[in-house]
Structure 1
Amino acid sequence: MPEADTHTLQDDLELLVSAALKGGEIALSYFGNSPKNWTKEGDSPVSVADIEVDLFLSSTLREARPQYGWLSEETTDDLVRKEYETVFIVDPIDGTRAFLNGRDEWCLSLAVVTNGRPTVGVIYCPIREELYTAVCGAGSHLNRQKISVSDKQSVPGSYIAGPVSFLEKEGVKREQIRFSPYLGSLAYRFALVACGKLDAGLARARARDWDLAAADLIISEAGGQLVDLSGSTLCYNKTKTNHPGLVASSAKLFKRLQGISVED
């Protein structure tokens, strides 16, 4: 049986931050250098940079916390993680297509999840030099400065990022919503909601645990919420790692967005 956890949340935060910064250095060594890449299941790109960062994070984090389970986009999921109360949930490079295309919004997403909910979250965007962090009960921070979600309460004029299919809806057009330019990283999209640069972020029904766990806590600790279209809180480290359509925003704005589906 896995050992009992004797580490504090602050200990875990320091571990994740250190790993994210070093992992970012590894990714940057490949950025702009046309790293070898290929297409995996689901027509999703993966590169040698993703794999090397994943191997580094796996060895570093699992050696430091052998009593934690492991779930990563780039590690084969054997469901052994289900035996653990606490797990790392990691995306070594969220936004690989953006990374390969020389865009700057790709990031590393790292979380500690206990009993299905994140307790520590880190999102690191190396090119933009933005480090988002959160610890359960201690607020969210961007480069050590406390952040909060937007106080926008009405849909008209809201600044939102989401799938093109949503943005083209007639109901959406009538609301005069302002749309963010395309963002190739879902985790980073939600981080921008946490710091108030976006009023809301939307996702289709295909996001996975590793896209969401860190962002979920960062948004929550910033005073917002990441929920499904019914308003239900997400649960992680289940057998299936996929989630339905999602909305990240303040609770008040969510109630006004709820009638606009992102499922199409």
Structure 2
Amino acid sequence: MSDSQKAGRLSDVDLIVEAALEAGRIALGFFRQSPEVWWKNGGLSPVSAADFAANESLAAILRSARPGYGWLSEETDDDADRLSHQTVFVVDPIDGTRGFLAGSDLWCVSVAVVTDGRPVAGVLYAPSLDELFVATAGGEASKNGKPIHVSQRLGDDPHRLATGEDMLTGFDPDFRKTVERVKHIPSLAYRLAMVADGRLEATLVKRNSHDWDLAAADLILERAGGALVDLSGNALRYNRAEVSHDELCGAPASQLPEFLRQLSHRRDS
């Protein structure tokens, strides 16, 4: 039996785990080795030889195993054909490329299976940290095989937030005093995973994040007891014609109303 036939027999979640692990192994071979770098989006965003190599590996494994699925990746030219597919792979071969190129450990491979606009299986693999986050719709979220849960803030504990200072503008002053901002985390997907496993209470996301940054982490956060929503409290939809998103909030479900209330103050200020 060929490798593609073996992959075709795997469940979707086992398939994307296998693909993410292999892509992570490939990317790790470039890490701190000064890979070649190009610039895209008008010179605003770096992309490296590691991104392309990991993307090629993901495409080879996933698309051969599920030829009937659509494909959306940060490092593949977008094809509107994906919109005709009920189920698509949504992939970021290296989320946090700037951090990767700077030698930070905080980057990951992000792979999701999205059906009817919502993720049904998601994997984040941080090779440099040896951390594997996995979730399926209806199942639990795990980190290295152990269940994870969002933070349960107690009493006067500070709100540990990952966000830009500008996103706190307009918060109620008393609430602002309870916020402890954490150091910048270059990977948005990994930041959401930190909310899922309770190291952060929440993250506020600036506009112009993309499906590939979010889809896998969205499901992992949801299955850990949290949610990623827009500032009106709506869950995100993926595999639309437009793959970018407005401002977002990811937090434990129990804390979301307060964060959204504070963010509404900000918008009204």
Instruction: With the length of structure 2 as denominator, give the TM-score of the two structures.
Output: 0.90
Are the equivalent residues in 2 in contact too, given 1:223–1:250 (CA < 8 A)? Answer: yes
Identity of aligned residues (%): 45
Q: Distance in 1 between matches of 2:37 and 2:169?
A: 32
Q: Which residue of 2 aligns with 1:190?
A: 192
Q: Distance in 2 between matches of 1:193 and 1:154?
A: 19
Comparing 67-76 with 163-172, which one deviates more in the overlay?
A: 163-172
Q: Distance in 2 between matches of 1:231 and 1:216?
A: 14
Residue 201 in structure 1 maps to residue 228 in structure 2: no
1:155–1:45 CA distance, 2 compared to 1 (3 A): farther
Q: Deviations over 1:26-65 (max 9, x none)?
A: 1011000100002101511100110111011011100000
Q: Distance in 1 between matches of 2:148 and 2:257?
A: 22
Q: Which residue of 2 aligns with 1:25?
A: 25
The aligned amino acid for 1:256 is E
Q: Distance in 2 between matches of 1:220 and 1:59?
A: 29
Q: Distance in 1 between matches of 2:229 and 2:251?
A: 9
Q: Distance in 1 between matches of 2:213 and 2:188?
A: 6
The aligned amino acid for 1:11 is S
Residue 40 in structure 1 maps to residue 40 in structure 2: yes
Comparing 40-49 with 137-146, which one deviates more in the overlay?
A: 40-49
Deviation at 1:174, TM superposition (A): 3.2
- Which ranges in structure 1 are unaligned for 5 or more consecutive residues? 1-6
Are the equivalent residues in 2 in contact too, given 1:155–1:256 (CA < 8 A)? Answer: no
Q: Which residue of 2 aligns with 1:4?
A: none
Q: Deviations over 1:186-234 (max 9, x none)?
A: 0000000011111111101111000000011001111110001110010
Q: Which residue of 1 aligns with 2:3?
A: none
Which aligned pairs between 1:154-173 and structure 2 lie closer than 5 A? 157-167=158-168, 171=172
Q: Which residue of 2 aligns with 1:250?
A: 252
Q: Which residue of 2 aligns with 1:180?
A: 182
Instruction: Tell me the SS of whatever aligns to 2:35.
Output: coil
Q: Distance in 2 between matches of 1:154 and 1:183?
A: 26
More helix by share: 2
Q: Which residue of 2 aligns with 1:88?
A: 89
- Which ranges in structure 2 are unaligned for 5 or more consecutive residues? 1-7
The CA RMSD over aligned residues, in Å, is: 2.0
Instruction: With the length of structure 1 as denominator, give the TM-score of the two structures.
Output: 0.92
